[in-house]
Chains A and B, each alone.
Chain A
Amino acid sequence: MAVREVSAGRVQARARRMPAAGVAANVTKYLLLIVLTVSFMLPFYWMITSALKDNAQVFTVPPVWVPIPAHWENYPNAWSTYNFNLYLVNTVVRYAIPVTIGTVLSSTVVAYGFGRLRWPGRDALFALCMATMMVPFAVTMVSLFITFKNIGWIPSYLPLVVPSYFGNPYFIFMLRQFFLTIPQELSDAARIDGASEFGILFNIIAPLAKPALTVVALFTFMGAWNDYMGPLVYLNSQKLYPIALGIENLRQTMQQVGATQLAYPYLMAVSAIATLPILIGFFFTQRTFIEGISLTGLKG
């Protein structure tokens, strides 16, 4: 029925338009789309190709759009000369993985408490949990820094990792919304069979919520990978730098050298490599990704 309505509408709409005008509108639309796509992608094209240049190709007017010869060796050289293997290990092993595990586990359990259990005071606490998202980062940053300094956690990844094991309101909200869509009968049946609430969560609800849990894991991992401000505040030791701080550090090193030795190509090369996992992750999970974002916005 709905389908028939839609197609009837389209036929009417088409009948009203002059065919020539329709073609012109279409051409304009695709032209606009292509111009926009080119301008949105221009910074990435500039990044990838600038990484292939030597200094002579960088300092050229008008700019070189297709560097010939292409210096592909800039990519591995920039990466290994400036310690990026260490930064990579720091980012993934010390930061992204522990934070992802902590956020997924704790947010799932808390979201279950807010979304699948009925208890007095629940809604008030949930409102409080949501309200904490309004508190600016800056308000807690200063005194958290003082606390972590006093207990000897600076410099280390502990201030960035440990809080993630206490649930993230944004993801608690997202998972709760998802849990609410799962029929209550499933839980009731399991309760009659004598299952505990933790059993229900891990054996019934979590497997059904796999898409939402994937989104949480993906967003958390990417958040840690992209994070700049957290490491900047807590990690003032180069041995501990994640990639984000490594890139900034490379820029400073280059400025001290006097921007002579392939400063721009090397900066662009490590930037491109730091973007690659995000691109790959996005490419393979595009649908999950985009549905995850719409999920947070629509119910907001």
Chain B
Amino acid sequence: MAVAIAKRRAWGSSQQRRLLLGLLFVSPWLVGFLLWTAYPVLSSLYYSFTRYDLLRPPVIIGLENYRQILSDDPVFGTVMYNTLYYVGLSAPLGVISAFLLATLLNTKMVGRSFFRAAFFFPAIVPAVVVAMVWQFLLNVQWGAIDATLRGFGLPAIPFLSNPTLAKPSLIMIHMWAQGNAMVIFLATLQDVPRSLYEAATVDGASAWHRFWHITVPMCTPVILFNLVMGFISGFQNFTLPRLLTNGGPNNATELYAVFLWRNAFSYLRMGKAAALAWILFVIIVVFTVILFRSSGRWVYYGGE
């Protein structure tokens, strides 16, 4: 007994002991947070105020990078337009695609797990493979679609080589790979209480009414979640626009992350790239806050 008390004193109070134990367990993350998040976030803020090409030491130039990006850069306006166009359409359309597929899968059917696998699989294919396959598939000369059209004597559709069609093509591929969101929706749909549908059916509600007034409202929290995820990842979309079109044609798919990457690793403008990253950070935070603020109007939280 005396030994136990002495031990406890040596450890300090039980509260402190708990704190130490807790910190011990989360210490990998805590150290990682300082090394791989806190430090780089702050130092990239510093670099954003410098001119730095990796060869010579960074030179502090104040807000020059930000001024140059926002008022002088000939491409930045196009990049912002492309990014807002892409994100503004791909996030909602991706959610709609996932939601409709999940709704379809949630009906009574034979072979559901087969269809679910078919709709889900594109989401887990390596992005490089997605890019290679779609680039060939949409090739205006020999791709499956255009070669078929030409075989019927119809005009080919320049999916990736026409500036007007390139962004919609990227969005189409995005809608094809919505497996994750679809699976999350499917799990949510299965949790909607059957009694709601039964009551509505007894009251004579049509299938459309049940869908619009029960299914959709019950899913709004998950719609919000998937929409936020869609926006955040859309703003950072890099692999597909880089590999499919490399920003072209005529800068039509030069999305934010591609532009940032180009500045950092093709032009070695580390300072400008850091400033671009911080502008992106602010844009994403503002978008997310707006989305959550708006959610009070359209998201239905069951019991609350």
Contacts and interface: CB of A to CB of B under 8 A. Distances in A.
Contact of B276 (A9, A46, A138): A138
B134 interface: yes
Interface string A44-78: 10110010000000111111000000000000000
Contacts of B294: none
B173 to A, nearest CB: 9
Contact of B277 (A113, A139, A298): A139
A132 B37 contact: yes
B122 interface: yes
A192 B60 CA distance: 60
Interface stretch (B79-87, B124-132, B163-171): B124-132
Interface of B: 15, 18-19, 21-26, 28-33, 35-37, 39-41, 43-44, 47, 52, 54, 101, 104, 107, 109, 113, 115-122, 124-130, 132-134, 136-137, 141-144, 147-148, 150-152, 176, 180-181, 183-184, 186-188, 194-195, 197-198, 201-202, 222, 225-226, 232, 235-236, 238-239, 243, 257, 260, 264-265, 270, 273-274, 276-278, 280-281, 284-285, 288
A113 B202 CA distance: 50
B123 to A, nearest CB: 9
Category for how many chain A residues contact B: 35 or more
Contacts of B137: 42-43, 46
* 6 nearest CB pairs, A to B: A166-B32, A62-B151, A113-B25, A119-B22, A297-B184, A294-B187
Contacts of A36: 101, 104, 115, 118-119
A274 B117 contact: no
Given A138-B257, A139-B280, A166 B36 contact: yes
B118 A37 contact: yes
Contacts of A169: 29
Nearest to A290: B183
A143 B40 CA distance: 5
Interface string A156-200: 000000010111010010000000000000000000000001000
B127 A228 contact: yes
Contact of A139 (B44, B118, B141): B44
26 contacts: A5-B198, A12-B201, A12-B202, A33-B104, A40-B176, A42-B144, A43-B122, A43-B137, A46-B136, A46-B144, A47-B133, A61-B142, A61-B150, A63-B144, A117-B21, A132-B33, A136-B235, A142-B270, A143-B274, A165-B28, A228-B243, A244-B127, A271-B133, A282-B121, A293-B183, A297-B188
A143 B45 CA distance: 9
Most buried by B among A60, A61, A62, A275: A61
A161 to B, nearest CB: 12
B19 A143 contact: no
Contacts of B132: 247, 251, 267-268, 271
Contact of A134 (B19, B40, B225, B288): B288
Contact of A293 (B130, B150, B180): B180
A121 B26 CA distance: 12
A202 interface: no
Contact of A9 (B31, B122, B201): B201
A32 interface: yes
Contact of A290 (B116, B148, B150, B277): B116
A251 to B, nearest CB: 7
Contacts of A63: 142-144, 147-148, 151
A125 B104 CA distance: 41
A166 B36 CA distance: 9
Given A129-B29, A129-B33, A290-B120, A274 B128 contact: yes
Contact of A300 (B113, B129, B195, B225): B225
A109 interface: yes
